[in-house]
Structure 1
Amino acid sequence: MIIEQFNDEALAHYSYAIISEGEMALVDPSRNPIQYYKLAEKHNAKIVAVFETHPHADFVSSHLQIHEETAATIYVSKMVGAEYEHQGFDEGVSLQVGTVTFTSLNTPGHSPDSITIVAKEGDKTALFTGDTLFIGNVGRPDLRENAGNMRAKRLELAKDMYATMKTKFTDLPDNTLVYPAHGAGSLCGKNMSTDSSSTLGNERMSNWAFKEQTEEEFVEEILKDQPFIPSYFGFDVDINKDGALHIQKAKYEVPVFLNVDEIEESISIVDTRSGDDFKKSHLVGSINIMATSPKQKFETWLGAIIKPEEPYYLVVSSVEDIDPLLERVAKIGYEKQLKSIITVAENLEGNMPFLDVTAFKKNTSDFTIVDIRNASEVAEGKFFEHAIAIPLNELRDRVTEIPTDKSIVVHCAGGYRSAAGSSIIAKLLDKVEVFDLSDAIKDF
């Protein structure tokens, strides 16, 4: 069998194509299926199966679109309660694709309806573990308390994950290949390796979740220090349970307007341009979530700052950016609430001052410093002892906690998030000067 891994770096999401004897199966496909269609065409293969390891929280899957465009059957656990046409694929069920035999393991822990896909051909075995087993860790158990057909409390799922790790992989050999749905940088777990695959033998030796420990010890470790949960996670679980609209239809339903110089005040505006361009000129009240590189976590922060179903406008630098940005918005299902995508006129009323970093270094106490890193980052140590810590994803709701008697300087860990944070504070506290420390934080 041929296994092809696809990597969406912005979401740290891995999806897979398995090809054998002119047939192809897909595992956990991302929103746009064109890349899989191109691979199928290259190998002259027919897509016959789409496996969903669970309803994903951090991205929208194209399983329904692939089914409708290729007639491939969707396979998912019956426990998902999927609203689309599908076949249940739980333990005891098998499927032949070419010379590869696919079976399922029910592996609850990240979600109650998670499955691991087992692919065997001769003496070669591969596991597509979804969000159950990552390289170096396991999936977080706290995402299904408020979303999905099957809801479960984090403590229950933590105990389920303990049982999964103790019992579900014991009969598989050490040379079994492990292919997860996520890698380092994903919010679906913590402390993941930068490696994109592994073997079961390596994980048994190095992954803490395989080590001999009590259920109580396991539960304590898996529940502590998990990253924040973006607003959109539950929203995407529900979309994936129902099946998403075709991405091409979704993208081209969004209106486009050029050279805009004013917009209705009650609607949020997300400006994706560089921090420097934003500071020089922007529509008043805009939030600067930069999308100047495909590796930036634009999707995560869009879905963390803008609430599901909250209407918003999206500002792009150029008409050339329209399609790529619509693609990124659609990856998290945020295209329906997008009022329009726009380019803006020059010399707009909105602007932000650039920080004199030298002067700031001399007298940091003259400023109110706001640290917008995540709580786990702040716990590891502050850059400025007197800084007020408010995570970026909570900033819109907690901005009134920031004093306005001094100018405000906003920082994160590397300079990307502080562009968004400073613009949020400037929008909501318009009577005080707000500065973005940006990548000058590296000097501290």
Structure 2
Amino acid sequence: MIIKQFQDKPLAHYSYAILSGDKISLVDPSRDPKPYYVFAEENNAQIVAVFETHPHADFVSSHLQIHNETGATIYTSKLVGADYPHKTFDDGDTFSMSEVIFSALNTPGHSPDGITIVAKDKKSKHAMFTGDTLFIGDVGRPDLRERAGNMKAKREELARAMFQTIQNKFKQLPDETILYPAHGAGSLCGKNMSTDSSSTLGKERKSNWAFKNLSEKDFTDHILADQPFIPSYFGFDVDLNKSGASSVESSIAKIPFLMEVATVEKNITVVDTRNEIDFKNNHLPNSINIMARNEDDKIETWLGAIIAPNEPYYLVVDSITKRQEIIERIAKIGYEAQIKAVVTLANLDMEQSDKFDFSTFEGRTEDYTILDIRNRSEVQEGKVFANAVNIPLNELRHSIKIIPRNKPIVVHCAGGYRSAAGSSIVAKEMKEVKVFDLSEKVNIYK
């Protein structure tokens, strides 16, 4: 049994290919199936199975596309109520592939329909693919399925289910079982995940807080506290994964491209992915600056947090050479179908952001309304400015009315990336007041 791990860094997502003989099974594949196809070609092997541990909230899976293109059987829990062709895979069910036997464990907690996939080969090598149930150093958050999916569940119920899962479901597995989660540090599906990409069940039994001798109440209190925010797209992706997404290539191919434009439809939001300096110097009206300069700019998360599911938008890229890359990243969360057109900008004057005189602000911060758009958990650890108004970035578009308008506004986050988006949102909606981005200058005050 050879296990290949694939990483999607911006979403902190891990997916897997398990090779035995000339057959391959996949676990929780990303939206683009090409890397798995390349792996199959390199090993002269056939993809015969796709395991979905649950309907994912933070990315769109390619399980249906892979089924349509390879004939692979999709395995998922009967509790999902999946609308795509599949075989149910629950407690006691097994699937044999060459020298590997896969078995299912129902492991609710992150979701009511989650399963863990256990793989064992003839050499008694054990591996477990835990999806969003058991992470390295943590467990999956239980608060994502109250408003989405075929089976809605309250967070308290799922927290208690997670306690039972951790207490009882893995007892028969040996300590040397290699643990492969669906996410690592940086994912919004948990709060204290390790940067390690794999572990062993024995190590987690010793070091993961969830395996400590806790009462059910202490366990549930801990897992429910201080969870990250929930982006708008999470419920949308749960439902999309339950039905199965269309081919990523055909979906992307439908998006129009317009070159060197100076105007677009009024009242349609424009998402501008260029560098903040270029954006501030010139941009289309009604624009929001969500940068996509590199993998460290998490456009997937912030686009899905700021733009609502099914909300149409124009997408600005700085060059035709960036078009495909950025669309493919957006397709990972299923937001490509909402793009009215991808555009590059004409070399004409359009709108500029207000010029920020930092020296004036530095000496008289009381003359400004300071807007802190960090998450509430970040603010609880300490304010940068004592008099700042806190509205998290993901809530900003719906909270404009509560921002004071009697002073110029300075927007800040923790390092500058989010404040570029936040200041553009506020400036778009509040034309009667000056809006400035503190950007990286915030580091002076930390």
Q: Secondary structure at the match of 1:92?
A: coil
In 1, Cα distance between equivalents of 2:6 and 2:35: 9
Q: What displacement does 1:102 show?
A: 0.5
In 2, Cα distance between equivalents of 1:200 and 1:437: 45
Q: Secondary structure at the match of 1:264?
A: coil
Q: What displacement does 1:2 show?
A: 1.0
In 1, Cα distance between equivalents of 2:389 and 2:59: 32
1:185 matched residue in structure 2 = 186
Q: What displacement does 1:346 show?
A: 2.1
1:137 matched residue in structure 2 = 138
Q: What displacement does 1:67 show?
A: 0.5
2:80 matched residue in structure 1 = 80
2:296 matched residue in structure 1 = 295
Whether contact under 8 Å (1:283, 1:348) holds in the other structure is: no
Q: What displacement does 1:209 show?
A: 0.5
In 1, Cα distance between equivalents of 2:199 and 2:352: 48
Q: What displacement does 1:201 show?
A: 1.1
In 2, Cα distance between equivalents of 1:399 and 1:204: 47
What one-letter code is carried by the residue in structure 2 that aligns with 1:36? Answer: Y
What one-letter code is carried by the residue in structure 2 that aligns with 1:9? Answer: K
Post-superposition Cα deviations, 1:204-224, rounded to whole Å, max 9, x if no partner, equal 111111101111111100001
In 2, Cα distance between equivalents of 1:355 and 1:17: 50
What one-letter code is carried by the residue in structure 2 that aligns with 1:189? Answer: G
In 1, Cα distance between equivalents of 2:39 and 2:128: 21
1:108 matched residue in structure 2 = 108
Post-superposition Cα deviations, 1:420-443, rounded to whole Å, max 9, x if no partner, equal 000000000011111111112111
1:222 matched residue in structure 2 = 223
2:241 matched residue in structure 1 = 240
Whether contact under 8 Å (2:53, 2:114) holds in the other structure is: yes
Whether contact under 8 Å (1:285, 1:350) holds in the other structure is: no
In 1, Cα distance between equivalents of 2:195 and 2:149: 29
In 1, Cα distance between equivalents of 2:291 and 2:334: 18
Q: How high is the sequence identity, in percent, across the aligned residues?
A: 62
In 2, Cα distance between equivalents of 1:346 and 1:178: 53
In 2, Cα distance between equivalents of 1:35 and 1:192: 25
In 1, Cα distance between equivalents of 2:296 and 2:426: 25
Q: What is the number of residues matched between the two proteins?
A: 444
Q: What displacement does 1:402 show?
A: 1.2
Cα-Cα RMSD: 0.9
Q: Secondary structure at the match of 1:336?
A: helix
Q: What displacement does 1:355 show?
A: 2.3
Post-superposition Cα deviations, 1:113-165, rounded to whole Å, max 9, x if no partner, equal 00000011122111100000011100010111111111111110000000000
Q: What displacement does 1:359 show?
A: 2.9
What one-letter code is carried by the residue in structure 1 that aligns with 2:229? Answer: F
In 1, Cα distance between equivalents of 2:297 and 2:2: 30
Whether contact under 8 Å (2:271, 2:290) holds in the other structure is: yes
Q: What displacement does 1:97 show?
A: 1.6
Q: What displacement does 1:294 show?
A: 1.9
1:45 and 2:14 are equivalent in the alignment: no
1:386 matched residue in structure 2 = 387
What one-letter code is carried by the residue in structure 2 that aligns with 1:304? Answer: A
Whether contact under 8 Å (2:55, 2:80) holds in the other structure is: yes
What one-letter code is carried by the residue in structure 2 that aligns with 1:26? Answer: L
Q: What displacement does 1:295 show?
A: 2.5
Post-superposition Cα deviations, 1:339-384, rounded to whole Å, max 9, x if no partner, equal 1111111233211134233332222212111000011111110000
What one-letter code is carried by the residue in structure 1 that aligns with 2:396? Answer: L
1:168 matched residue in structure 2 = 169
2:6 matched residue in structure 1 = 6
Whether contact under 8 Å (1:58, 1:236) holds in the other structure is: yes
2:406 matched residue in structure 1 = 405
2:202 matched residue in structure 1 = 201
Whether contact under 8 Å (2:279, 2:289) holds in the other structure is: yes
In 1, Cα distance between equivalents of 2:83 and 2:286: 39
Q: Secondary structure at the match of 2:101?
A: strand
Q: Secondary structure at the match of 1:383?
A: coil
In 2, Cα distance between equivalents of 1:202 and 1:52: 25
Whether contact under 8 Å (1:148, 1:238) holds in the other structure is: yes
Whether contact under 8 Å (1:159, 1:219) holds in the other structure is: yes
TM-score under structure 2 normalisation? 0.98
Whether contact under 8 Å (2:260, 2:345) holds in the other structure is: yes
Structure 1 stretches of at least 4 aligned residues deviating more than 4 Å after TM superposition: none
Q: What displacement does 1:336 show?
A: 1.4
